[in-house]
Structure 1
């Protein structure tokens, strides 16, 4: 029988890799460790079980689970007879990738669309001011042109999100089958 600590040691390598990967995308290391721990866990877990396995406080655990849930990396589960909230990691990493990036790209699009609209409004108002110089007018028109190009990017990004959400991306970049990636 393989000792559980040896299994934990073997898992730790991938958990730390997930932690580093998530940090690259702006998630905290504790959220990465939490997700990695949940990734290897067979059954849905309570916050108390997660706390025991990770050593994190219940508050940190709750915050981390909420953040991971909002990114669709963790899902709430229900089991008959269990009164506490249960959570499990999304094990389909392709699905996790699609959902994570679609959520992040949608946030980016929404945030920047509002900012572009406000900036355009402010710049157009400046054009109506009586004391504006020709140089300032040129600067404003150049800025408006840059914002138009930025809007093209966000329109493209919105189409990319639709391609991911609809699954059409897999027509161009299919997910390999298990037998294609085994050693």
Structure 2
């Protein structure tokens, strides 16, 4: 997005509004990243949630909107509670509309013989791998190199409490 979109940052947009037409974009222009609330449809950037257009470096744009429930986005780091074991998959409550799936192979050093020790009620720290409105979310407890990087079961005690999303974003 060029200077014309930067002039729209911090302005209010409603669903259905078009921020930019991409038909005239040349291939030399920098790539852009569209976050939550924005979607490309028929070579146009379309607003899908009501809110304020935000921008951060590396050409990342998103709509900052007030919402009550967490909507998973790929790459988000989340805390969740294991609610159920179902064969090779754990169900983890991450605060969204449905629980996320966590494969037992999504832990560092896990294989068919060496399963992770996860019990119902354990607190897990992971990263959203799949977030799609048509599919169940999936989380993993390893990074792209196969290392845990601090993710996994949190056993050191502590408290987990819910708070409003606007408080988390500050």
The alignment's TM-score, normalised by the length of structure 2, stands at 0.27
Larger RCO (CA under 8 A, 6+ residues apart): 2
Give the structure with the larger strand fraction: 2
The alignment's TM-score, normalised by the length of structure 1, stands at 0.25
Greater Rg over alpha carbons, structure: 1
